[in-house]
Amino acid sequence: MITKPNRQLSRQRRHLRVRKHVSGTPERPRLNVYKSLSHIYAQIIDDVAGKTLIYASTMDPELKGIVKGANKESARMVGKLIANKALEKGIKNVVFDRGGYIYHGTIKELADAAREAGLEF
């Protein structure tokens, strides 16, 4: 019996394959993106220390009443928010980890907004 591939499992496999090569350091932490059906999450991680340095999502109090759903507009707002928080902490350079998602749509919008706000990757 042949079964269809599971989309979530395929994404997780792609993410693990990319993570073999992408790692965050104290000088250049990793900007990780995760999206669910209703929210978008972004975090900046130092993989050497194993700590999340900065976190932003559509559930943050700053965005709570403004954004609805996991759409391009929400992704753009989360990208700006994470970039502003990073710049406040003195983080300017990051490594982008798309989380196994295709660099298209909401993921691209988040990355573009973070770049426009001042992050370099």
Whether the model clears a pTM of 0.85, i.e. scores above it, the answer is yes
pLDDT at 74 over 80: yes
pLDDT at 105 over 70: yes
Q: How is residue 107 written in tokens?
A: 């993921």
Q: What is the pLDDT of residues 90-103, one digit of tens each?
A: 999 999 999 999 99
- For residue 112, give the amino acid letter: D
pLDDT of res. 2: 60
Radius of gyration of the chain (CA): 15
Distance CA 13, CA 2 (A): 19
| Percent of residues, the chain, with pLDDT higher than 90 | 73
The secondary structure element, H or E, covering residue 18 is: helix 7-19
Q: Does domain 7-117 have CATH number 1.20.120.1200?
A: no
pLDDT of res. 6: 87
